[in-house]
Amino acid sequence: MNDIPERPLSDQARARRKAELMNAIEARQKAGRWLVPAIAAAAVVAVVSVGAAVAVSGGDGPTGPAQSSGPGAATSGAKDNTGNAQGRKDGQKQQSGKIQKGDERWATMPARQCADLDVGIAGAKETHSIDVGDTTVRVYGNGDQYVTCDEWASNDGGPATLFAPREVGAPIAKNQFVISMNFGMKGGNEYVAGGLLPEGANAITYRFSNGDTEKAVVEDGAWAMAYFPDKALPDDATAKVTVTTESGSETFTLAGMDGFCGQVNHGC
């Protein structure tokens, strides 16, 4: 099989791609504020500076906007058993199913509430709903697994935030308390976590490295924590999570993307 020839992207085609992207970004800005402005700007730079070659496909225009639906749907591959998408972009496998910073598809993700999303586990139904701060955190489960969904971003014009599926009744572990961080397009920041209350636990408290403390709301076997600081935490921020149980307490330290990027259906 012969390789498909490549040829430089014309100035006219490059300008057309940039204009289409700018229109998409402007539409999202009007719809809501959940997207970080710097990310939208980075997306424009990425398109303007796209590689000098493009595969010949009968024309030099774009192939069409990416579609998004459900957890990890930023990529077009199949889901694995954790609900994350396994996808490829430009023929190369991404590190995860999340849309990364600078990816132009951020600008085309529609506003969707939790009920509009595929939560990634079969037969899941909403089991809990907790209002905390400026958001509602919902839990969907099927008896074996559950998924946490936060609606702050959907109220702000983007898709609701999904966490990875977790096992019902699993022992207390650090991954149950990871944070999703979201930043508003026109202001506002959110750090959120939640799920089913681990067996034996009766209180969960987050202490951030800036000194602020946020206690989770516990209701009917579920919990949710939402923290809304005046400004975004620095990249090196940490959070200590203390889980109080009937026999004592356990403390976990969250840091970096592993601790603050708990969502699976859009980037941080």
Same domain, 124 and 230: yes
| Averaged pLDDT for residues 126-141 | 97
| Burial letters 197-211, b for 16+ CB under 10 A, else e | bbeebeebbbbbeee
pLDDT of 53 > 50? The answer is no
Total number of domains constituting the chain:
2
Tell me if 267 is assigned to some domain. no
Residues 221-252: tens digit of each pLDDT = 999 999 999 899 999 999 999 999 989 999 99
pLDDT of 5 > 80? The answer is no
Tell me if 130 is assigned to some domain. yes
Same domain, 138 and 174: yes
Structure confidence at residue 182 as a pLDDT band (50, 70, 90): very high
Same domain, 210 and 128: yes
Structure confidence at residue 28 as a pLDDT band (50, 70, 90): low
- Out of 65, 87, 108, a domain closes at 108
Rounded to a whole number of angstroms, the distance between the first and last alpha carbons of the chain is 41
Q: Which domain holds residue 208?
A: 114-260
Same domain, 141 and 87: no
Same domain, 87 and 180: no
Lowest mean pLDDT among 73-77, 138-142, 184-188, 244-248: 73-77
**pLDDT for the residue 10:** 56
Residue 267 or 114, more confident: 114
Same domain, 39 and 125: no
Tell me if 177 is assigned to some domain. yes
Residue 143 or 61, more confident: 143
Q: What is the mean pLDDT of the chain?
A: 73
Beta partners for residue 91, in sequence order:
none
**pLDDT for the residue 87:** 32
Tell me if 268 is assigned to some domain. no
Tell me if 1 is assigned to some domain. no
Tell me if 15 is assigned to some domain. yes
**pLDDT for the residue 132:** 96
Same domain, 97 and 65: yes
Residues 75-132: tens digit of each pLDDT = 333 333 333 333 333 333 333 344 444 444 444 456 789 999 999 999 999 999 999 9
Tell me if 266 is assigned to some domain. no
Tell me if 214 is assigned to some domain. yes
Q: Which residues contact 89 (CB under 8 A, 6 or more apart)?
A: 75, 103
Residue 219 or 101, more confident: 219
| E-strand stretches of the chain | 6-8, 53-55, 88-89, 92-93, 125-132, 135-141, 145-150, 161-162, 166-167, 180-183, 189-196, 201-208, 213-215, 217-219, 222-227, 238-245, 248-255
- Out of 48, 75, 108, a domain closes at 108
Same domain, 206 and 254: yes
Same domain, 37 and 68: yes
Lowest mean pLDDT among 63-67, 97-101, 149-153, 257-261: 63-67
Percentage of residues in the chain with pLDDT exceeding 90?
Answer: 50
Same domain, 70 and 191: no
What residue type is 243 in one-letter code? V
| pTM for this prediction | 0.62
Same domain, 44 and 156: no
Same domain, 183 and 208: yes
- Out of 108, 136, 151, a domain closes at 108
